[in-house]
């Protein structure tokens, strides 16, 4: 889906309309080129903006490079610094919290995301609450990482009942007021994109994907560990679905246990050559009933605590035809 132009947001009392949040951790080699490119793109779009760079305890000269850029772009660049490394998600939390724009654009500072693609995201804001830059090639590294990303997308798509083109892309634009609502859910590590995608979808907000070209990392190495962080991604996906749509997990589990109970019953009857109900079948049927009951209780709790605040972005027929 292509963008439809500049975001329809206004400047409130001299405040920026768009905040570009950059989580920075030891990317001094990239920043001197990346920040000027962002400034150039946003100036060309003629949208009031700011760049919020969050230095996450870097020790490679990133802080010094950011200070030089701040002197070069005093009106556009704001700096925030963590005294120790707290993680990508913590940096995004800090950046979104201190941002002043109605729309927040998050992107990696390692050169994988092109600033020239920012207008594609902004062109769909509004009516969308979250626009994600979906990489045409999910990962340009090992086949294991590519397979893992495809699995995350398929798994999350099935659980969320929505097609997800790129679950883990950190290049995205979102309404700050909605993002603030979900900040307490942000993990400190590399799962913040997964969290925001599923939270926005399951809470009923408008989410769209825009195809981008994912570039290679300009400096440094990936800080994501395949097996350890991969298991955390899976647990996070399950956690978010249980938080917003628990029956999507509990009902299939209950049906699976019930099916195993039926198979155990058939096996017991075949072995005894008479109508019996083995202990294994009783256990599995009881477990299925308990799982279903737990799912229904969780669903009731979820329905009382999940709130949607996106009615202002509902599009009428007349507006859609403009």
Condensed to tens digits (0 to 9), the pLDDT of residues 8-24 reads 555 555 689 999 999 99
pLDDT digits (tens, 9 = 90+) for 153-175: 888 888 888 888 888 888 999 99
Cα separation, 106 vs 174, in Å, equals: 8
Low-confidence ranges of the chain (pLDDT < 70): 1-14, 137-145, 190, 214-230, 233, 303-322
Radius of gyration for the alpha carbons in the chain, expressed in angstroms and rounded? 23
Residue 92's closest CA among 199, 203, 197, 180?
180
267, two tokens: 């096996």
What is the number of other CB atoms lying within 10 angstroms of the CB of residue 148?
21
């Amino acid at each position: 889906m292509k963008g439809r132009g500049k975001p329809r947001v206004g400047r409130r009392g001299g405040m920026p309309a768009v905040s570009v949040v950059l989580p920075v951790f030891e990317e001094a080699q990239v920043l001197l080129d990346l920040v000027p490119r962002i400034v150039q793109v946003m100036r060309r779009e003629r949208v009031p903006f700011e760049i919020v760079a969050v230095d996450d305890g870097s020790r490679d000269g990133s802080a010094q490079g950011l200070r030089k850029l701040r002197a070069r772009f005093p009106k556009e660049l704001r700096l925030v610094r963590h005294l120790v490394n707290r993680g990508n998600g913590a940096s995004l939390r800090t950046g979104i919290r201190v941002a002043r724009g109605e729309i927040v654009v998050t992107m990696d500072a390692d050169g994988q995301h092109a600033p020239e693609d920012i207008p594609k995201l902004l062109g769909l804001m509004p009516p969308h609450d979250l626009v994600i830059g979906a990489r045409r090639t999910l990962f340009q590294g090992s086949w294991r990482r590519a397979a893992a990303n495809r699995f995350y997308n398929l798994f999350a798509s099935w659980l969320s009942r929505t097609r997800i083109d790129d679950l883990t892309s950190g290049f995205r634009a979102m309404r700050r007021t909605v993002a603030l609502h979900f900040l307490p859910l942000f993990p400190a590590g590399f799962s913040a994109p997964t969290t925001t995608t599923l939270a926005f979808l399951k809470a009923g907000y408008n989410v769209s994907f825009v195809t981008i070209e994912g570039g290679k990392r300009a400096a440094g190495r990936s800080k994501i560990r395949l097996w350890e962080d991969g298991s955390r991604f899976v647990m996070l996906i399950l956690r978010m679905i249980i938080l917003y749509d628990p029956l999507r997990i509990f009902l299939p589990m209950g049906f699976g246990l019930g099916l195993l109970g039926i198979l155990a019953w058939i096996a017991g009857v075949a072995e005894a050559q008479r109508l019996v109900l083995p202990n294994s079948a009783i256990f599995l049927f009881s477990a299925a009933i308990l799982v279903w009951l737990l799912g229904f209780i969780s669903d009731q709790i979820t329905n009382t605590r999940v709130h949607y605040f996106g009615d202002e972005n509902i599009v009428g027929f007349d507006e859609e035809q403009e």
